[in-house]
């Protein structure tokens, strides 16, 4: 466990330190999110945060390859490098899109290329841990893998509409996934806890946590497509890898129920993004638009229209992600009846917080108060200190929020 937590910390530290440099780069190359009709922010924001996220992931994976404890993972094949290669492709693709706004067809083609790279490196959906079903054809396996990766990337991209939303949701769901994959590695191979899926999820969570202080409301940088697609690809790769780790002959009878989790858990982690993406595709197609045509009817927009504050709307979606993902993982630690009861109670509480106007107003007020502490944390980031110093040196600039974002 200590090794994985160390990798998580390395990814977080690198992402945290690299984000100010990515912000500076975004201003230099013009990767700025202008204020559009569908946007929530009111000032132009740089959007190359995904570069810092990828650097955190790549650094942690490189360090992992040099750790003797994890050598079986890297000696067994090139899956880890295939995942990292796919992430590099979509990060570069996202950077190009963040700077020059690629056509959606070109972006989709790049996503399929990244999926093929991941699948060609050995990360393929070969078995489905339900009654020992195996995908017989290698071509079907490759196609299924690519589609899962592409769907996951677009699901995260669709939901990335509020400050800190996508990074926080993936961090929360990733922690649940990390817990499960680590427990699975312990039960499936006693004495050797090295696991590629656990490495992938650990560095993914770490990179998200390192990026979040710069991205929480009011955000100083967005992750952009270069970040959202990397998060989706990494999570999909971890889910596909886990499906190949389950051996019914090894896992005890008590642990057969969790064998279904590799199918269910990624869906629960991405439940909110998948619902948002499905609704958007149906909505846009029904009115004759492209499925990728932007609008202002995502879940986070609906929460804002119901009167939730920006931070609290994000927190509501965090709560749903936590309830669904950790509720699913609770099957590992609780009897099925207890896990169902805990999950059901969490869903009821999340629904009450989401739809009760009185509760929404109460929690929103409390969250605004806590927001002052978050803002104080943001001020200690390098760009936050620079902005504060600029306001002290030029008091007149403090009245112009646009100037702060252009500094």
Residue 397 has pLDDT above 80, yes or no: no
What contacts 78, CB < 8 A, 6 or more positions away? Answer: 121, 122
Number of H helices, E strands in the chain: 17, 4
131 versus 66: the higher-pLDDT residue is 66
**What pLDDT is stored for residue 383 in this prediction?**
55
Q: Supply the range of the domain harboring residue 387.
A: 2-406
Measured from the Cβ of residue 366, the count of other Cβ atoms closer than 10 Å reads 11
d(CA 328, CA 12): 26
**What pLDDT is stored for residue 365 in this prediction?**
65
Residue 38 has pLDDT above 60, yes or no: no
DSSP helix/strand/coil, 287? coil
DSSP helix/strand/coil, 308? coil
- When pLDDT is cut at 50, 70 and 90, the band that residue 402 belongs to is very low
Q: Nearest CA to 218 among 389, 406, 45, 367? A: 45
Q: Nearest CA to 91 among 234, 229, 237? A: 229
Lowest mean pLDDT across 58-67, 69-78, 80-89 = 69-78
Measured from the Cβ of residue 371, the count of other Cβ atoms closer than 10 Å reads 17
HSE-CB at 197 with a 13 A cutoff on CA atoms is 29
**What pLDDT is stored for residue 407 in this prediction?**
30
* Token pair belonging to 18: 């690299």
Residue 304 has pLDDT above 80, yes or no: no
* Token pair belonging to 318: 């965090």
Q: Nearest CA to 84 among 112, 46, 58? A: 58
**What pLDDT is stored for residue 185 in this prediction?**
76
Exposure string for 394-406, b = 16+ CB within 10 A, e = fewer: eeebeeeeebbbe
C-alpha angle 362-363-366 in degrees, rounded to nearest 5:
95
Average pLDDT over residues 336-344: 88
Residue 147 has pLDDT above 50, yes or no: yes
**What pLDDT is stored for residue 4 in this prediction?**
94
Q: What is the DSSP letter of 46?
A: E
**What pLDDT is stored for residue 63 in this prediction?**
96
82 versus 127: the higher-pLDDT residue is 82
- When pLDDT is cut at 50, 70 and 90, the band that residue 335 belongs to is confident
Residue 73 has pLDDT above 80, yes or no: yes
Provide the CA 134 distance to its chain's centre, in angstroms: 28
Residues paired with residue 128 on neighbouring β-strands, in sequence order: 133
* pLDDT per residue as tens digits for the range 230-261: 999 999 999 888 876 555 445 544 454 455 67
DSSP string, 110-164: HHHHHHHHHHHTT----EETTTTEE---HHHHHHHHHHHHHHHHHHHHHH--STT
Instruction: Tell whether omega for the bond before 144 is within 30 degrees of 0, i.e. cis.
Output: no
Structural domains of the chain, count: 1
Yes or no: say if 168 and 273 are a contact pair by the CB < 8 Å rule.
no
Cα dist. 35→39, 167, 200, 294, 402 in Å?
Answer: 6, 21, 35, 14, 11
What is the overall mean pLDDT for the chain? Answer: 79
* pLDDT per residue as tens digits for the range 12-21: 999 999 999 9
Average pLDDT over residues 185-193: 69
Q: What is the DSSP letter of 190?
A: T
Highest mean pLDDT among 69-73, 267-271, 396-400 belongs to: 69-73
- When pLDDT is cut at 50, 70 and 90, the band that residue 275 belongs to is confident
- When pLDDT is cut at 50, 70 and 90, the band that residue 37 belongs to is low
Residue 2 has pLDDT above 70, yes or no: yes
d(CA 13, CA 34): 29
**What pLDDT is stored for residue 182 in this prediction?**
86
**What pLDDT is stored for residue 286 in this prediction?**
78
* Token pair belonging to 296: 């202002």
DSSP string, 206-250: HHHHHHHHHHSSSPS---HHHHHHHHHHHHHHHHHHHHTS--TTT
d(CA 44, CA 405): 7
Exposure string for 333-346, b = 16+ CB within 10 A, e = fewer: eeeeeebeebbeeb
**What pLDDT is stored for residue 12 in this prediction?**
97
Yes or no: say if 98 and 48 are a contact pair by the CB < 8 Å rule.
yes
DSSP helix/strand/coil, 32? strand
**What pLDDT is stored for residue 31 in this prediction?**
83
Radius of gyration of the CA atoms of the chain, in A: 21
Residue 406 has pLDDT above 70, yes or no: no
**What pLDDT is stored for residue 385 in this prediction?**
55
DSSP string, 88-103: HHHHHHHHHHHHH---
Average pLDDT over residues 138-143: 84
Average pLDDT over residues 93-109: 89
* Token pair belonging to 39: 């946007």
Lowest mean pLDDT across 16-30, 81-95, 132-146 = 132-146
- When pLDDT is cut at 50, 70 and 90, the band that residue 400 belongs to is very low
- When pLDDT is cut at 50, 70 and 90, the band that residue 375 belongs to is low
Residue 157 has pLDDT above 50, yes or no: yes
138 versus 3: the higher-pLDDT residue is 3
Q: Phi, psi at residue 245, to the nearest 5°?
A: -100, -5
């Amino acid at each position: 466990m200590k090794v994985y937590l160390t990798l998580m910390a390395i990814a977080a530290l690198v992402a945290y330190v690299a984000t100010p440099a990515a912000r500076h780069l975004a201003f230099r190359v013009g990767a700025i999110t202008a204020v559009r009709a569908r946007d929530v922010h009111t000032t132009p924001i740089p959007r190359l945060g995904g570069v810092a996220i990828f650097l955190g992931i790549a650094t942690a994976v490189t360090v992992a390859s040099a750790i003797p404890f994890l050598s079986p993972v890297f000696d067994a094949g090139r899956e880890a490098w295939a995942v990292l290669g796919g992430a590099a492709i979509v990060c570069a693709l996202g950077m190009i899109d963040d700077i020059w706004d690629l056509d959606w067809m070109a972006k989709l083609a790049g996503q399929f290329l990244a999926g093929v790279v991941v699948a060609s490196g050995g990360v393929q959906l070969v078995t489905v841990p339900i009654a020992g079903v195996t995908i017989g054809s290698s071509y079907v396996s490759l196609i299924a893998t690519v589609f899962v990766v592409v769907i996951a990337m677009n699901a995260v991209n669709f939901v990335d509409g509020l400050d800190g939303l996508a990074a926080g949701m993936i961090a929360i769901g990733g922690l649940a996934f990390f817990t499960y994959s680590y427990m699975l590695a312990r039960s499936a191979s006693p004495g050797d806890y090295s696991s590629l899926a656990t490495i992938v999820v650990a560095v993914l969570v770490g990179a998200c946590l390192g990026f979040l202080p710069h991205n929480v409301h009011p955000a100083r940088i967005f992750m952009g497509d270069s970040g959202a697609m990397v998060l989706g690809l990494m999570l999909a790769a971890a889910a596909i890898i886990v499906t190949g780790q389950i051996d019914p002959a090894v896992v005890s009878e008590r642990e057969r129920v969790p064998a279904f989790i590799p199918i269910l858990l990624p869906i629960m982690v991405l439940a909110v993004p998948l619902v948002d993406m499905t609704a958007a595709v149906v909505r846009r197609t029904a009115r004759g638009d492209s499925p990728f045509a932007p609008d202002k009817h995502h879940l986070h927009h609906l929460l804002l229209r119901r009167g939730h504050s920006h931070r609290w709307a994000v927190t509501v979606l965090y709560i749903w992600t936590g309830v669904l993902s950790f509720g699913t993982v609770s099957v590992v630690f609780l009897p099925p009846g207890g896990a169902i009861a805990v999950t059901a109670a969490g869903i009821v509480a999340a629904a009450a917080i989401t739809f009760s106007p009185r509760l929404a107003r109460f929690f929103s007020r409390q969250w605004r108060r806590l927001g002052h502490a978050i803002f104080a944390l943001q001020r200690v980031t390098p760009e936050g200190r620079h902005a504060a110093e600029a306001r002290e040196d030029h008091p007149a600039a403090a009245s112009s929020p646009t100037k702060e974002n252009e500094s």
